[in-house]
Structure 1
């Protein structure tokens, strides 16, 4: 379904370790927005929803809602740290178009 690179996994673990709130998992989602129509979302969740797909990555739980699951199928999530900035990068085989800023996509 989804692949997290070791770099992304380490970055998420750092966020979980520094969170003041309890964390049930990392939610990866897709929602309407951006100039290309769809945007990725990442959020540390305190609770799992009943209809969430739950994925285990070496002890780290990733939560995906039923709407986002087919749009994220085959996606690789990486974490990039460079001079121009740092953040999560998505390689999605379903993205057939993205905006110039790279923050949204169409499927």
Structure 2
């Protein structure tokens, strides 16, 4: 299961409410690349793949494709506002290592 903190949920809600077109939810994926081997990808989507795992919390729907699900199981996603910049952070128990920016893992 993937967990979104209240701060992450609020950030997703805000992104959905300001989107230029209707949005069904947030897609979270893992792709090869980044500094450490894999990188997190996030984006709003208006089309759901029937094979997606759908996670819903407090009205926010999150879609995870089957290939990414095992990499993300148990991950907590937060949205942090800091002087260095704001953005999503990932606490992933499956990551053996990660890069300093926190957007890539191995």
- TM (norm. structure 1) is 0.96
Residue in 1 that maps onto 2:19:
19
Residue in 2 that maps onto 1:105:
105
The structure that is strand-richer by fraction is 1
Q: Secondary structure at the match of 1:67?
A: helix
What is the alpha-carbon root mean square deviation over aligned residues?
A: 0.8
Residue in 1 that maps onto 2:87:
87
The number of residue pairs the alignment matches comes to 106
Structure 2: gaps (5+ residues): none
Structure 2 matches for 1:1-107, cutoff 5 A? 1-106=1-106
Structure 1: gaps (5+ residues): none
> Shift in Å at residue 86 of structure 1?
0.1
Determine the C-alpha separation between the residues in 2 that align with 1:100 and 1:53.
29
Q: Which runs of 4+ in 1 moved over 4 A?
A: none
Q: Secondary structure at the match of 2:35?
A: coil
